[in-house]
């Protein structure tokens, strides 16, 4: 598609044209959702419990940790409101 102005992009988008080739996906940012790596040490019993629950619902250990932390954060946020 090449270089185009924002007005041209808007016009093509509004007309229903595929404008995905004009967008640079590498430059897309999702504020507040950027990934950062953290290292956390867990006792063996906790890892085993995480793995059992993750296997039970069919997700990875990392996913279950993220879900549980998100749920707890949401509960605390609602409780503070």
- Residue carrying structure tokens 């016009």: 11
Q: What is the pLDDT of residue 36?
A: 87
Q: What is the pLDDT of residue 30?
A: 74
Task: Please list, in sequence order, all residues whose beta carbon lies within 8 angstroms of the beta carbon of residue 54, skipping any fewer than 6 positions away.
Answer: 60, 61, 63, 64
What does the alpha-carbon distance between residue 81 and residue 18 come to, in Å, rounded to a whole number?
42
Q: What is the pLDDT of residue 79?
A: 85
* Across 61-74, average pLDDT: 94
Give yes or no for residue 1 having a pLDDT over 70: no
| Range 37-81 classified under CATH 1.10.1220 | yes
Q: What is the pLDDT of residue 64?
A: 94
Closest CA to 22 of 13, 31, 35, 14: 13
Domain ranges (residues) in the chain: 1-32, 37-81
Alpha carbon 77 to its chain centroid, in Å, reads 19
Give yes or no for residue 41 having a pLDDT over 90: yes
């Amino acid at each position: 598609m090449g270089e185009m102005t924002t007005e041209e992009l808007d016009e093509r988008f509004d007309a229903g044209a595929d404008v995905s080739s004009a967008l640079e996906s590498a430059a897309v940012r999702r504020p507040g959702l950027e990934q950062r790596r953290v290292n956390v040490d867990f006792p063996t019993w906790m890892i085993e419990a995480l793995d059992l629950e993750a296997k039970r619902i069919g997700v990875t250990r990392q996913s279950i940790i993220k879900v549980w932390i998100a749920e707890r954060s949401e509960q605390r946020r609602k409780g503070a409101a």
